[in-house]
Structure 1
């Protein structure tokens, strides 16, 4: 059976080949007005200087196009279009941390409020059977960045120079990374071997805030990404870019910070009245086990969903910032997760009851939903390996479309 295990390198091959137009009506509302109306949040909160270098941009787009073929299996009809230009697209790659397959409203969560990620799904293509390369953070991210089986990549020695970021850097792209890295110690993310023009790493702290700035860790990194894009266009607008935006939410410990407090649209109290019957059988069993362990699942669910909503708000800010800079039509935007939802705070820790590895350790708020699938992070079941995967490239990807079949794209990576 072929399985859709895609690295971001493979995604580029797919995106450049997937030249199709939709007949569906697109949402014409401005991302900026929507963010401002719902959350009253400033799109850009910080200005940072980029370290872009001027280089001749090779025709990566043309090169990749000759090495790929059109994707199939979308649920809506589409008309192939000729390549409008040889200008390579920009890429924004957002990877949530422990986001479950069912944690977004567009993936079936009965209570999650994910306004902006849902809009991305309406404007792009949502994949139903995307499988990650690993069941935990580092292996999965290594697969995304290298197209290699993570078993072949020793964590202690990093990824070397066989990475997507280095490939794009060598092809003339401006490359930046914002947020979590977690891909080896030698070399670390600051090494020139990875090709980053700009690197902003963030690390979680006990109270969920960056100590230096007082801003939530994800709010800070999304602001830095918006600011870098602004600076990049001022310095080297003709040069295409690729950026990783890898937030920490909703990784354990589950928390939210100022972006939640500033929002007027997020629920002020956890949803105490959620109905357990609205979830699949595996999630129902998880909730019952949590209750037996003495956890108030209503409070825990409320806190977890507020964290997911905070991630959604920050994603909306990024999209609004891109719209303000008029980047939306030339940029491939991808949202995914590194694996399934966390089901334990520590592997091998004894639990509160029944000897099952659930709800042990510091955080009782691990209410991630695998969408009716069995298992989660640390497991090889579908709940641990299947993740959300949404792609939007206006005028190229299908609008409000689903990919529901297994497919393998490894052969297109060459």
Structure 2
């Protein structure tokens, strides 16, 4: 064989092998879905057969942590591998600046890239933003949705767009974000979506005291907990139905074996807030989805699960520990539950780079390569996890191994220390009983906050 021909064949074989080794990647991100809101995470009434099957065919994690307690900060960590408090300009208003994203890195390394659904990571939506080839037409806030008229749930359009993108790029490696609006307020399922879920007879004793308090508040506000929980779960089921359509399409296209499918949530369940003023007056108002304002507020029935307390807007585990399911039949063990690996949304970028063979400088990122956990081993965390909102005087939080420290910037604010192994519900403050641990972690937390911007700029977006 002639040398030139041999070189061409060798190069082509090399490209083919690299392509075969690199998976297609689909990242599905729910919005405000609590740790316990799926059947496979123990919810007594959830109907999520497709996500349950995804977990059975892959690995389900119990200690995956979002990088923020509202929508933009959580997405910032996933896209950039950086903790959101390190951004002086709030990314929802100003974008990521010079920080590189996972989509840019993958695009530079031969991936077709698409983003469908919620955005909330800047104001620029043109193709090419963050290295994304195609940005879908449904990026707006959930209260701007129009409900589909075919009996499907409110997020159906983004799945149709994502499936179209996958069909067009099935012959090359692709990366797709599908960022749901479900289960963010306003939750206002159509009658067809409610009928598809079916009836619900609620036994409140099946839930934790914290969830029972939510039921009690719902009653105080004039609602029926069973009806509002049904509306919430019907909304979630409609998302699960769309995930089922997506997974079926992967099978039809022969992409199942070499496609890494990941499902998670941006933070924990939204709280149920008591309405201000005259309840009867509130009930006459309509939210922008056309639903009764009081009713859609009462539909915030997300569940933190049997162990956690807190939810969205808090650094408690109920706010930052979220579902995380990974399936990649060629590489990820089926039927596995990882209850040991502590991983973060900030790990998504370095982990994917490791999996796809992209070289990065690990020191440039706050997350770490936890791909070992994704592929079936236990990840022993090296870097601590930190949380802080993008405001100067907000209270920071630190997680190191089993210890979680909630700091305070207030002069007389309470500092709390918890042993998550013994107390995942963060109920027993050990600050006085563990002075050496408290001192060590307080110093570590102070050292981190000292590196952060002294002031923050938010623009028009104050959070979601």
Residues in 2 aligned to 1:102 and 1:90: alpha-carbon distance in whole angstroms: 28
Write out aligned runs for 1:8-407 (5 A). 87-153=21-87, 154-155=89-90, 156-160=93-97, 162-185=100-123, 188-190=124-126, 192-202=128-138, 203=140, 208-209=145-146, 216-233=153-170, 237=171, 239-257=172-190, 260=193, 266-269=196-199, 271=200, 273-344=201-272, 350=276, 363-372=297-306, 373-407=308-342
**Structure 2 match to 1:7:** none
- Cα distance, 1:344 vs structure 2: 4.1
- Cα distance, 1:189 vs structure 2: 3.2
Contact 1:216 1:258 (8 Å CA) reproduced:
no
- Cα distance, 1:259 vs structure 2: 7.3
Residues in 1 aligned to 2:313 and 2:24: alpha-carbon distance in whole angstroms: 33
TM-score normalized by the length of structure 1: 0.70
Secondary structure at 1:412 match in 2: coil
Contact 1:209 1:215 (8 Å CA) reproduced:
no
Report the CA distance shift for 1:58/1:96 in structure 2 as closer, same or farther (over 3 A).
Answer: farther
Report the CA distance shift for 1:329/1:128 in structure 2 as closer, same or farther (over 3 A).
Answer: same
Contact 1:204 1:217 (8 Å CA) reproduced:
no
Report the CA distance shift for 1:95/1:61 in structure 2 as closer, same or farther (over 3 A).
Answer: farther
TM-score normalized by the length of structure 2: 0.63
**Structure 2 match to 1:47:** none
Secondary structure at 2:330 match in 1: coil
- Cα distance, 1:190 vs structure 2: 2.3
Residues in 1 aligned to 2:232 and 2:150: alpha-carbon distance in whole angstroms: 24
Between 1 and 2, higher relative CO (CA 8 Å, sep ≥ 6) is seen in: 1
Report the CA distance shift for 1:132/1:57 in structure 2 as closer, same or farther (over 3 A).
Answer: farther
Residues in 2 aligned to 1:205 and 1:132: alpha-carbon distance in whole angstroms: 20
Deviations 1:39-94 (A, max 9, x none): xxxxxxxxxxxxxxxxx9997997xxxxxxxxxxxxxxxxxxxxxx8531110000
Contact 1:57 1:172 (8 Å CA) reproduced:
no
Deviations 1:311-344 (A, max 9, x none): 1001101101111111110100000000001114
| Structure of larger gyration radius | 2
Contact 1:143 1:150 (8 Å CA) reproduced:
yes
Residues in 2 aligned to 1:298 and 1:175: alpha-carbon distance in whole angstroms: 41
Report the CA distance shift for 1:59/1:376 in structure 2 as closer, same or farther (over 3 A).
Answer: farther
Secondary structure at 2:67 match in 1: coil
Report the CA distance shift for 1:268/1:168 in structure 2 as closer, same or farther (over 3 A).
Answer: same
What is the CA RMSD across the aligned residues, in angstroms?
A: 3.1
Residues in 2 aligned to 1:94 and 1:345: alpha-carbon distance in whole angstroms: 27
- The size of the alignment, in residue pairs, is 319
